[in-house]
């Protein structure tokens, strides 16, 4: 059997939710990943030192038998420098959401007024706190990310020392931005390396493939593959795995989010092997993130084997991407 080993896999964009859902999904990531950047868009959002500490404690309690480091984030507000200094040792980044653009983002930024944001972003630059951004406008759904590029340019040019992560990029325009500014980086999901809009609504509606930002055109998929497969040093894996109960996905008003946490490594092996780029997967899944964020995860070795694996129909009450389908790689061991 063909095998492939990955060291210290990292998921640099993950939704763990809270309560019963947290207890269900957190162990699935902790089993095969050394750590993950955990998103703060709970209800209410994670926006204080006390919130960060309490949420981290709940995550660790949910995964007591696996080494797993939750890298915590704050929900972006116009924080003052004193507050940022008080919380900087407990967080890895701050996550900015445009108001109302995705799940639980109603308290996000409604106006990208640079002067209003300047005190916070300059303090973040000085304190070396990265800014993670959900980069979409409220325009036509297929154009929202491309339209946001001008805001990335505004942020990157006004705050050249601020490390800005373009989260879950989906377009060729975002890929082109990577080399325009030294301080712009990006995460890419596994589902955006596999899906176009046709896979969501091209035939029957596929609710478990529906996410925000929505999957785009074939040329966008090709652009994402071009940088992911080469492990461009400014890109890293971030699953954006976003669990919702089955009844919230299979309903009128389908919740946005694709659940890939327990199958991400297997799918990535399949993609990178298909293009004869397995040697680059280590950089994409861990090394680049370590360099970009300056983190040193504890040792974890994951060995995957090329054999048929049938994805479960459900994990608890959450339906994964490709539920019930057979894929070509499986996790053999975790040490």
pLDDT in tens, 33-79: 999 999 999 999 999 999 999 999 999 999 988 899 999 999 999 99
pTM of the complete model beyond 0.85 = yes
Bin 186: left if φ > 0, else alpha if -120 < ψ < 50, else beta. Answer: beta
Nearest to 288 by CA among 173, 195, 165: 165
The residue-averaged pLDDT of 4-16 equals 98
Q: Which residues contact 270 (CB under 8 A, 6 or more apart)?
A: 327, 328, 329
Strand order across the beta sheet in which 3-7 lies: 3-7, 301-310, 326-334
Q: How many residues does the chain have?
A: 335
pLDDT at 64: 87
- Check if 240 is active-site: yes
Which of the following is catalytic: 240, 279, 287, 335?
A: 240
The residue-averaged pLDDT of 272-290 equals 98
| Average pLDDT of the residues of the chain | 97
Answer yes or no: is pLDDT of 173 > 90. Answer: yes
* 82 CB burial (10 A radius; 0-12, 13-18, 19+): exposed
The residue-averaged pLDDT of 129-154 equals 97
Confidence of residue 103 (pLDDT cuts 50, 70, 90): confident
Token pair belonging to 70: 């939750």
Are 136 and 107 contacting, i.e. CB atoms less than 8 angstroms apart?
Answer: no
The residue-averaged pLDDT of 278-307 equals 98
pLDDT at 1: 80
């Amino acid at each position: 059997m063909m095998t492939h080993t990955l060291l210290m896999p990292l998921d640099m964009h993950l939704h763990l939710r809270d309560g019963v859902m947290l207890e269900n999904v957190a162990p699935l990531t902790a089993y095969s990943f050394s750590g993950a950047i955990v998103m703060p868009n709970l209800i209410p959002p994670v926006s204080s030192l006390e919130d960060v500490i309490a949420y981290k404690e709940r995550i660790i309690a949910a995964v007591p038998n696996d080494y797993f480091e939750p890298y915590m984030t704050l929900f972006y507000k116009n924080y003052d420098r004193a507050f940022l200094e008080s919380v900087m040792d407990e967080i890895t980044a701050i996550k900015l959401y445009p108001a109302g653009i995705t799940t639980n983002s109603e308290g996000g930024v409604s106006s990208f007024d640079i002067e209003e944001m300047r005190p916070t972003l300059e303090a973040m630059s000085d304190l070396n706190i990265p800014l993670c951004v959900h980069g979409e406008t409220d325009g036509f759904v297929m154009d929202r990310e491309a339209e946001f590029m001008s805001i990335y340019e505004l942020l990157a040019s006004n705050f050249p020392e601020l490390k800005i992560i373009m989260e879950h990029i989906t377009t060729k325009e975002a890929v082109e931005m990577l080399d325009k500014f030294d301080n712009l980086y990006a995460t890419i999901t596994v589902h955006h390396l596999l899906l176009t809009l046709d896979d969501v609504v091209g035939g029957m509606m596929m609710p478990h493939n529906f996410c925000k930002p929505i999957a785009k055109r074939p040329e966008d998929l090709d652009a994402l593959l071009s940088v992911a497969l080469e492990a461009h040093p400014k890109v890293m894996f971030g699953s954006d795995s976003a669990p919702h109960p089955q009844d919230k996905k299979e309903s009128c008003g389908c919740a946005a989010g694709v659940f890939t946490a327990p199958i991400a490594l297997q799918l990535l092996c399949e993609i990178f092997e298909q293009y004869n780029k397995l040697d680059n997967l280590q950089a994409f899944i861990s090394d680049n993130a370590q360099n970009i964020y300056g983190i040193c995860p504890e040792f974890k070795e994951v060995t995957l084997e090329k054999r048929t694996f049938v994805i479960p129909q459900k994990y608890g009450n959450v339906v994964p991407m490709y539920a019930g389908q057979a894929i070509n790689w499986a996790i053999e061991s975790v040490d």
